[in-house]
Chains A and B, each alone.
Chain A
Amino acid sequence: MTMSRVDVRKTYKLFIGGAFPRSESGYSYVVHDSKGAFVANAALASRKDARDAVVAARKAFGGWAGKTAYNRAQILYRIAEIMEDRRPQLVQAVRQSEGLSGSRAEKVLDESIDRLVWYAGWADKLTQVVGNANPVAGPYFNLSTPEPTGVVGVLAPQESSLLGLVSAVAPVIVTGNTAVVVSSYRRPLPAVTFAECLATSDVPGGVVNILTGDATTIAPWLAGHMDVNAIDLLGVAGDTELATSLEVAAADNLKRVRRAPAAEPDFAADPGLEAMTAFVETKTVWHPIGV
């Protein structure tokens, strides 16, 4: 009798500084599909992984923010290209984690890719839309432009494991921020596959760092971290108590906080500018006009 071939399974790891380490703690947790069947052991990120991710994100910030907007646009677009190229894998991940039919999962992927393309285009337009030349009452040139806030903690949505993730990460990085992302706890695998797309799409290491694990244990460390400039509480939508405590912790260094909504929004809707403008700083430069 012929023996069937034993397949080689993938180890799902964290994504920090462009590398795929296991959790520093050595812990993993079981990920089930939507029907409760075992799928994989995912790395369970610890507070120290979060710390390492913040270091990587800070290190990457200057270079990423310093790239031309055109270049950042190209890189975001490149992520979309790579995702298109890996359709079967991403569709499979979404089906598994969200329990969607094949055609529904295809649609989620379509929207995710389109969302990235949409945000990619904003890289060199947001400044034009939210910046201003200010006509001050004096002989001065005066210009206000948006600049990235810095290192942003992103608590990715718990339900929408790919479209929600992309909708949270893309607006943060397109303006030049770097991100430390905590994925959905129960549905982490699309995030890991997304990380693999990032790793092969010219995104410099550290610009996006993805931690699989439990936001309720990792987020307090990010919210209290004095070298994190902002935090998006999307991933704790509906958990008022946790969201409030994270906002309180964030006040220690006056992080910009994108508050948790009462429930996860419909990510298929037009996102508007808010997810980008929440994480930019308006800088105003004055210079005299004379001879």
Chain B
Amino acid sequence: MPPSPTTATAEDAAAQFSDVTRSDASLRGFLHGLPGVDQVGADARAAALGTRSIKTTAKAYALDLAIRMVDLTTLEGQDTHGKVRALAAKAMRPDPADATCPATAAVCVYPDMVATAKEVLGESGVHVAAVATAFPSGRAALDIKLADTRDAVEAGADEIDMVIDRGAFLSGRYLQVFEEIVAVREACARADGSSAHLKVIFETGELQTYDNVRRASWLAMMAGGHFIKTSTGKVQPAATLPVTMIMLQAVRDFRETTGQMVGVKPAGGIRTAKDAIKYLVLVNEVAGPDWLDPDWFRFGASTLLNELLMQRTKMTTGRYSGPDYFTLD
């Protein structure tokens, strides 16, 4: 049995890998020593899990769980305080017509919108996540990325979604990527000694290969990321089932090795309830039921929520619903 996640800490895990993360060479040796991923086999496995048929009680359970896992997201240049307020309201009460409908996990916004979101959400339990570190490209100097992060945390962000330097990763400068994640994590610290949770975005569409996704996953976990996240939503392809499966295998193996649990967040491209349920099947059968919790699995999405709500209504009323019956925020 692996150590329980409550006893192992990120610091323990970091200590365990201190030899690995000492130099570029040792880091490279470790990451390239991970078992390879055969793309065709991985795709086939994810597709096979995608054929699970989730019906009746299982579907009802899955829909509510999926709603609770949504990071309701708006990351547009045209975002306004009004838009963010509406979004936050929706996150707390997704279906105004049904009090049994759960709230989402968080809203996800740019750092300058954190305060607005926080103002609406207050102590509702719905978190505020902020994308930082020169999102989405990450092409800025480190001190700017760190300042971006500190700003968001100071504004009240509960969670920081950072992007890794894909250029550095693809050119093999793993230590640079590692140290940057460590630095951002340190920047997540609050004055009271607590810390915002850190999600590390890989932009898997740019990493391209599953081997790279697996290596990036380990790199981020060793650096102390609380979550690993597929995409910014600004690059295609964004989240896919197989990429998410590779990341779920990584967090599963990481817990086997360290006892430390890390969360997974697919983001972008998940639009239908059916897709969301496929992801939950993946979580269930690849990482295991321990990850079936908003603390350990999230969906980065915007339009997905309404699809989940419509399906949920169909389950309770027995008839198909339509978009007119849900808010478009």
Contacts and interface: CB of A to CB of B under 8 A. Distances in A.
Please tell me whether chains A and B touch each other in their complex, using a CB distance cut-off of 8 A.
yes
Contacts of B98: none
A137 to B, nearest CB: 13
A288 B208 contact: no
A280 to B, nearest CB: 30
Nearest to A138: B40
Nearest to A291: B209
Interface in B199-219: 208-210
Interface in A270-291: 288-291
Contacts of A88: none
A291 B208 CA distance: 9
B327 interface: no
A291 to B, nearest CB: 5
Q: Binding site of B, secondary structure by majority: helix, strand, loop or mixed?
A: helix
Nearest to B41: A288
B241 to A, nearest CB: 15
Contacts of A291: 39, 208-210
Interface hub of B39, B41, B210 (most chain A Cβ within 10 A): B39
A290 B242 CA distance: 13
Nearest to B39: A290
Contacts of B210: 291
Nearest to A140: B40
A230 to B, nearest CB: 36
A291 B204 CA distance: 14
A140 B38 CA distance: 12
A139 interface: yes
Nearest to A289: B40
A289 B208 CA distance: 15
A147 B80 CA distance: 71
Contacts of B43: 290
Contacts of B209: 291
A285 to B, nearest CB: 15
A140 B39 CA distance: 11
Interface string A124-147: 000000000000001110000000
Nearest to A139: B40
Contacts of A139: 40
A139 B242 CA distance: 16
A291 B41 CA distance: 11
A288 B39 CA distance: 8
A244 to B, nearest CB: 49
A288 B38 CA distance: 8
Interface in B180-208: 208
Contacts of A290: 38-40, 43
Interface of B: 38-41, 43, 208-210
Interface of A: 138-140, 288-291
16 contacts: A138-B40, A139-B40, A140-B40, A288-B38, A288-B39, A288-B40, A288-B41, A289-B40, A290-B38, A290-B39, A290-B40, A290-B43, A291-B39, A291-B208, A291-B209, A291-B210
7 nearest CB pairs, A to B = A290-B39, A288-B40, A290-B40, A139-B40, A291-B209, A291-B39, A288-B38
Given A290-B39, A291-B208, A291-B210, 4 more contacts: A139-B40, A140-B40, A290-B43, A291-B39
